[in-house]
Amino acid sequence: MDKLIKIGNTDVASKKIGLGTNKVGGHNLFKNLKDEDGYAVIKKAIDSGITTLDTAYMYGLGRSEKIIGDVIGDYDRQKLVIATKAAQDPDNDFKNNNDPEFLKKAVDEALKRLKTDYIDIFYIHFPDEKTPKNESVAALNELKQAGKIRSIGVSNFSLDQIKEANQDGLVDIVEDNYSLLHRDAETKLFPYLRKNNISFVPYFPLASGLLTGKYSAADAKKFSQYTPDQFKQILIAIDKVRKIAEKYDATVAQVILAWYMKNPDISIVIPGARKPEQVEQNVKALDVNLGNTDYHTIDEAFSDFK
Ligand SMILES: NC(=O)c1ccc[n+]([C@@H]2O[C@H](COP(=O)([O-])OP(=O)(O)OC[C@H]3O[C@@H](n4cnc5c(N)ncnc54)[C@H](OP(=O)(O)O)[C@@H]3O)[C@@H](O)[C@H]2O)c1
């Protein structure tokens, strides 16, 4: 499971597991975060063998990128894959902006915060309403030619927007909401991405912690997006994973992450973490060699969310 996969048609190579960092410095998005935990999460990830870090300007308005920049100076930069994103315009109420000049400036600013001279994966974080998507991507291609970014990504784009962005075949990678509880991408995006050799990175792979198995019926109110019946179904499905996890001497989260890593349509799974202990546990998903029968049992257990 430790083998490397290539991003799109580039030579950017990543392990199948990385780290999501919206709880590293993302004080504008989450309450009660401590920077010291953020620093510890990044260090623990790299020391545990994680080489791909997924951040964004929006996580703390640059604070997540800055923390990562502070830490990676102590490590071999060439072994790391740094992914970041931008679109929200601080000079216009954080509205999404895909204008070529805005994106070029955003990349230069991210490079400064990350204290590096290249970004391995740069995503347009969200689409705006006005910019033709192939023009935004053409600007990113100029940055790629200049060596400032190594691959071109888009995030939260519909299939039509991805097609518009990829008119010249320049999109390498797509990041979108996908988990066993949110499976639209399987039919909406995967066929096009597969055909066009575009990598896919799911965000919310643990459904913000729900798929770790740490919640019970008493927590239903915390997950108001699900009806009480749906929540019951989810807990039943998680119990099926728990039984499988026991066989592998693994946790529910590790088996769920291993399930994504076994799916060839998924390139890198990037579970987030608030604490270094969570990273330490999640990276061990690489050691879970999920059998085909167990893979299909899990697929079936969550088939209502397809
Ligand atoms: N492109 C986009 O628009 C976009 C949007 C959202 C996210 N993302 C990226 O995707 C990454 C992943 O999404 P996410 O972090 O929001 O959600 P996630 O990976 O589904 O869930 C991560 C959360 O689950 C809990 N957790 C993780 N491992 C655990 C463990 N072993 N035991 C118990 N709890 C555990 C932690 O939260 P608690 O401890 O607080 O429970 C952690 O912050 C983000 O970090 C970010 O980099 C991108």
Task: Please report whether residue 241 resides in a domain.
Answer: no
pLDDT tens track for 261-271: 999 999 999 99
Percent of the chain with pLDDT over 70: 99
pLDDT tens track for 227-250: 999 999 999 999 999 999 999 999
> Which pTM does this prediction carry?
0.98
pLDDT tens track for 268-305: 999 999 999 999 999 999 999 999 999 999 999 999 99
Task: For a ligand 1 pocket test, name from 55, 155, 182, 208 the mutation site with the most ligand atoms within 8 angstroms of its C-beta.
Answer: 208
- Residue closest by Cα to atom 11 of ligand 1: 20
Task: Please report whether residue 298 resides in a domain.
Answer: no
Q: What is the mean pLDDT of residues 59-85?
A: 98
Residue 17 has pLDDT above 90, yes or no: yes
Task: Please report whether residue 69 resides in a domain.
Answer: yes
pLDDT tens track for 186-223: 999 999 999 999 999 999 999 999 999 999 999 999 99
Cβ(251)–Cβ(212) below 8 Å:
yes
> 21 C-alpha to center of ligand 1: Å?
8
Enclosing domain of residue 267: 4-207+263-275
| Cβ of residue 22 lying under 6 Å from some atom of ligand 1 | yes
Where residue 100 falls among pLDDT bands split at 50, 70, 90? very high
Task: Please report whether residue 257 resides in a domain.
Answer: no
Instruction: Give the amino acid at 1.
Output: M
Residue 238: which of 290, 277, 181 has the closest Cα? Answer: 181
Residue 1 has pLDDT above 90, yes or no: no
Look at residue 73 in the predicted model and tell me its pLDDT. Answer: 97
Number of domains in the chain: 1
Is 226 known to be catalytic?
no
Q: What is the mean pLDDT of residues 103-121?
A: 98
Alpha carbon distance 302, 178 (integer Å): 13
Alpha carbon distance 273, 205 (integer Å): 12
The CATH number covering residue 103 comes to 3.20.20.100
Give me the catalytic one of 57, 59, 123, 215: 59
Look at residue 301 in the predicted model and tell me its pLDDT. Answer: 98
Task: For a ligand 1 pocket test, name from 17, 162, 203 the mutation site with the most ligand atoms within 8 angstroms of its C-beta.
Answer: 203
Task: Please report whether residue 239 resides in a domain.
Answer: no
Query: Do strands 199-203 and 19-20 pair parallel, antiparallel, or not at all (unpaired)?
Result: unpaired
Look at residue 3 in the predicted model and tell me its pLDDT. Answer: 87
Look at residue 192 in the predicted model and tell me its pLDDT. Answer: 98
Residue 156 has pLDDT above 80, yes or no: yes
Closest ligand 1 atom to residue 278 Cα is: 31
Task: Please report whether residue 89 resides in a domain.
Answer: yes
> 167 C-alpha to center of ligand 1: Å?
32
DSSP, res 22? T
Residue 96 has pLDDT above 90, yes or no: yes
Q: What letters, b where the CB count within 10 A reaches 16 and e where it falls short, cover 250-266?
A: bbbbbbbbbbbbbbebb
Task: Please report whether residue 199 resides in a domain.
Answer: yes
Percent of the chain with pLDDT over 90: 99
- Residue closest by Cα to atom 41 of ligand 1: 209
Alpha carbon distance 180, 56 (integer Å): 24
Task: Please report whether residue 165 resides in a domain.
Answer: yes
Compute the mean pLDDT over every residue in the chain, rounded to the nearest whole number.
Answer: 97
